[in-house]
Chain A
Amino acid sequence: KQEVTQIPAALSVPEGENLVLNCSFTDSAIYNLQWFRQDPGKGLTSLLLIQSSQREQTSGRLNASLDKSSGRSTLYIAASQPGDSATYLCAVFNQAGTALIFGKGTTLSVSS
Chain B
Amino acid sequence: DAGVIQSPRHEVTEMGQEVTLRCKPISGHDYLFWYRQTMMRGLELLIYFNNNVPIDDSGMPEDRFSAKMPNASFSTLKIQPSEPRDSAVYFCASRETGTNYGYTFGSGTRLTVV
Interface residues of A (CB under 8 A from B): 31-32, 34, 36, 41-46, 49, 51-52, 89, 91, 93, 96-105
Shortest Cβ distance from residue B102 to the other chain A in the assembled complex, whole angstroms: 4
Across the interface, which residues of B come within 8 angstroms of A44, CB to CB?
91, 93, 105
Please name 23 pairs of A and B residues whose Cβ atoms are closer than 8 Å in the assembled complex, sorted by A: A32-B99, A32-B100, A34-B103, A41-B110, A42-B108, A43-B108, A44-B105, A45-B105, A46-B102, A49-B101, A49-B102, A51-B100, A89-B43, A91-B43, A93-B99, A96-B56, A97-B99, A99-B45, A100-B45, A100-B93, A101-B45, A102-B42, A104-B42
State A51–B104 Cα separation when bound (angstroms). Answer: 16
Q: Which residue of A lies closest to B3 (CB)?
A: A43
Across the interface, which residues of B come within 8 angstroms of A36, CB to CB?
105
Across the interface, which residues of B come within 8 angstroms of A31, CB to CB?
99
B43, B50, B93, B106 — which one has the most chain A CB atoms within 10 A of its CB? B43
Across the interface, which residues of B come within 8 angstroms of A105, CB to CB?
42
Shortest Cβ distance from residue B67 to the other chain A in the assembled complex, whole angstroms: 14
With known contacts A46-B104, A98-B55, A51–B91 Cβ distance under 8 A:
no
Across the interface, which residues of A come within 8 angstroms of B102, CB to CB?
32, 34, 46, 49
Across the interface, which residues of B come within 8 angstroms of A104, CB to CB?
42
Shortest Cβ distance from residue A66 to the other chain B in the assembled complex, whole angstroms: 13
